[in-house]
Amino acid sequence: MVQKARELPAAPLPFTAIVGLEAARQALLLLAVDPKLAGVAIGAGAGTGKSALVRAFARMLAGGHEFDPTLPCQLVEMPVGVSEDRLLGGIDIEATLATGERVHRSGLLARANGGMLYVDSVNLLDDSTINHILSALDSGVVRVEREGISVVEPARFVLLVTYDPAEGPPRRHLLDRLGLIVAPIGKAPVTTRAEVVRRNLQPTTDYEDDEALVLAGILAARELLPSVTISDEQIRQLSLTALALGIEGHRADMFAVRAARAAAALAGRETVSNEDLELAVRLVMLPRATRLPDMQPQEAPPPPTPEPAPPPPSQQQDEDRSDEEEDQPPRPPDDELTVEDLILAALETEVPPDILETPFTVRRRGRSGSRGTISGQRGRHIRSVPGKPAQGRLDVIATLRAAAPWQRLRAAEHHPHRRGRIHLRADDLHIKKYRSKAGTLFCFLVDASGSMALHRMRQAKGAVNALLQQAYVHRDQVALLAFRGDRADLLLPPSQSVELAKRALDVLPTGGGTPLAAALLAAYQISEQARARGIYRTTIVLITDGRPNVPLKADPTMDKTRRLEQARQEVQQLAGRLWAAGVGAVVIDTQRSFVSRGEAQQLAAWLGGRYVYLPNGRGDQIANAVIAASEDG
């Protein structure tokens, strides 16, 4: 018998029908119970249903608005490329042209007041947009001071953000203000994937009862929440857990207390239990951890115990019941729960192995996205300024916005017979200003001379691979030069390809002199070529001991002392030229301290760059030092 094919439901999936995102669903429920948790961040790969879960959550809460008007149910979605006037608000052109007076139009932040603001791909937002969101979260208002308008609007909302971890992490300061963070979710098992397909083929009406039950639980928990209590000892345990995980600030402690109380209310309890504390640690503290404490128990020889006497028959039934529970780990009572118990219980669930690779482990890495931005005639439109069309692209909207308040006056004074037309003047014209993203060119200059050449190449290989892993997110490029003998060879032109870098680093001859001047000259030429292609920021990374001994043009009759002096002078002159051209520099000193005479440190001073002593440094350590120097510069 041939089964009839099922048709896909026209309506989107309900909140209770989405599978594979249990931790995210739990976090959203806690937020619905206590909106003072501020928001939820969900990290999951593309196509996992995180956006569908957020929208289904908003639709479910909308059904309970008539029972609880304070329930945040209005969902305002903000696109990644949102303009500043749409985000904050500005002049309503149509209304202003119609009335002849400035009419304000509210932006997305003000429209989300009392509800939820949802941002997908939050890790790709521009820094200025994130700063406006942070300001609204902190102050609860939106201030608009532009185009002759001065408006302050309320903007109290909960923030829901999702992102794909493969595209880079969100900004740390934004995540820090959200109470609940769901760690990046890995691949779903086969059973979960099959269940996703099955539920998408199932009619959505099958989940109406489940949806109503969940909503009723949220409404009941919101009524119970004010009476839920948490003991001083439990608060102390959460604070000790935050210290053990290396969490900075006090937001996590306060969010964890709120999350524990919301979890207890959702379960219908008036006191916080161990389960509630574990959930708070898992959703609030673990994603903010900068370290995991050593929780290896110290093995001690057990004390000798006498053999127990056989139990009486009356206790035999109880012992049989306890034998069935031997496989379950003992759960400590509420008054005996320790910090280690909290962390271990929170880690029992599926936690990604790279849990510590979060924005909270990065110390002030500067701007997200690209590390360099320039203004020009291409890129993202950031603002409009008064100007003439010959100076750039005309912004029609900004021009009309500037002219709109004066239309009635101009029509009455100068053109009474031309009513209904728009009257422009030269000072109304506005041109667009753009910001195009251009990353940093990291130019590695590796000293391939001497006995340490192979060690330096291993360091460079690890650092290049580490930088190329982030090349797509930050729009960076990497170039590689090796200098030995009497010349510098370009092994890898500026590229973002990991495969090309591996091929360039696999085969490299070593030995010979140290033509450091030739390497600096080649780096200067590469930086100028990159500037012509639109990369205005170059950082050279010198992995060397800093001892030049081969000049650019050596006289065969010159003795060794004069040749070394000439090589040193050429290096000093070229270093000053690179510094004057705005090229950043990082000198990685590979010389042992007991034989070093400070040559690499002197070279860093000539270049106006950073000196890093890493004789045995790994590739990731070098990459971190290079990125830090580039962003500080």
Active-site residue set: 251
3-class DSSP state of 142: strand
User: In this structure, what DSSP letter does residue 416 have?
Assistant: T
Which residues make Cβ contacts (< 8 Å) with residue 357, sequence separation at least 6? none
3-class DSSP state of 364: coil
What's the token pair of residue 348?
Answer: 């029992």
3-class DSSP state of 11: coil
Longest dimension (CA), the chain: 114
Report d(CA 57, CA 75) in Å as an integer. 9
Cite the beta strand spans of 516-556 per DSSP E. 538-544
CB 599 within 8 Å of CB 610: no
The separation between the first and the last C-alpha atoms of the chain, rounded to the nearest angstrom, is 72
Report d(CA 43, CA 28) in Å as an integer. 13
CB 379 within 8 Å of CB 414: no
Exposed / middle / buried, residue 123 (Cβ in 10 Å: 0-12, 13-18, 19+): buried
3-class DSSP state of 622: helix
Report d(CA 596, CA 16) in Å as an integer. 66
Exposed / middle / buried, residue 623 (Cβ in 10 Å: 0-12, 13-18, 19+): buried
Q: What stretch of H or E contains 161?
A: strand 158-163
Beta pairing partners, 436: 374
Within 13 Å, how many C-alpha atoms sit on residue 32's CB side? 30
